[in-house]
Amino acid sequence: MRLKGIFNRDGGTFKTTDMDAFHALAKTIFEDAGHQFDCEIVKGSEVKKAIEKTAETPDFDGMIVGGGDGTVSLAAGFLHGREKLLGVVPAGTMNLFARSLDISLDIEEALYELANGKTARVDMPTINGRPFIHQFSAGLHATMIKNREKIDYDSRLGKISASTRAWFDTMRELSELKVTYESERGKGEGEYALLGISNNRIHHNAVPFSDRPQGGKLGVYLVKASEFDNVVGVAFDYLTGHLEERDNTILFEVDRITIDFSDTNMDQSLDGDLMDVIDHAVIEQHPRALHVLVPQHSTLI
């Protein structure tokens, strides 16, 4: 295959990696596996432009993206609806999408798995037509992201530490979202501290990712938390993938959901990055809409 690599040098793991050496290693591994391979190493501020340019280029079969979930989400969005492959080198902090695809979290091992892997199709939702790979959130989680962005960090461990500090800051700002929603399950309304719509349900994983990327459903999480100890519990359960076990969590699975927020005085995020606040969201699951590379041992098809 003709493959093009886009590596975000500002990704968590890549910040401490000799990128010239890693580029040479990637080229050797992919070419030894019979592929044509070229690569760009770019700064975080240049990633979007590089991905967009590559996605619009006709003479390639797949894009190998190295970085965190934000970088991967950008690439997946640009490849959505195209018959082009996405390969993920997990160089971020959480690497949730790579975990969903069962790709090694060791960046060198991931190169071997992708170069000698196979193709599969996984689900990819949209919010108001915009693709995403992991989760839309409003409330507590999005506020944590906003607070984390105020903290300087320069490594993967630094980001984890910053996230922990940001959760404590978030606990002091507890507010509730007034929402109404409608899906094939019917209508509902209420006030919640956190609303999350995930790309398939998150099942008791050590970190919040879905290990069923071909499940064909959205996971809807509506969480109440009115007191400090409840917020601490929500934060811990969110980080450890056990949010659905809480008594004050409403969880269901749907193909499509429409959500209306009563005001825009809130924080919202998409795939771990803050987004412009919207008061009306139409979120739809698109089963097997994204073409990906996965390891040979994967059960995905």
Q: How many CB atoms lie within 10 A of CB 241?
A: 18
Q: Residue 253, SS3?
A: strand
Ordered strands of the 126-127 beta sheet: 130-131, 126-127, 280-284, 256-261, 177-183, 186-192
What's phi and psi for 77, nearest 5 deg? -65, -45
**Burial of 51: CB neighbours in 10 Å, binned 0-12, 13-18, 19+:** buried
**pLDDT (tens digit, 0 to 9) for every residue of the chain, 301 residues total?**
999 999 999 988 898 899 999 999 999 999 999 999 999 999 999 999 999 999 998 889 999 999 999 999 999 999 998 889 999 999 988 899 999 999 999 999 999 999 999 999 999 999 999 999 999 999 888 888 888 777 776 655 666 566 667 666 666 666 789 999 999 999 999 999 889 999 999 876 667 788 899 999 999 999 886 655 565 666 666 656 666 666 678 889 999 999 999 988 899 999 989 999 999 999 999 999 999 999 999 999 9
Q: What is the pLDDT of residues 265-289, one digit of tens each?
A: 899 999 989 999 999 999 999 999 9
Question: What pLDDT sits at residue 122?
Answer: 97
- Cα separation values, 92 from 15, 31, 108, Å: 10, 25, 14
280: which 2 tokens?
A: 């009306």
Domain locations along the chain: 2-116, 130-284
Considering the entire predicted model, what is its pTM? 0.88
Whether 67 and 92 have beta carbons less than 8 Å apart is answered as: yes
Distance from C-alpha of 243 to C-alpha of 257, rounded to nearest angstrom? 20
Fold type of domain 130-284: Tumour Suppressor Smad4 (2.60.200)
Q: Residue 87, SS3?
A: strand
Domain 2-116 listed as CATH 2.60.40.420: no
Distance from C-alpha of 132 to C-alpha of 148, rounded to nearest angstrom? 21
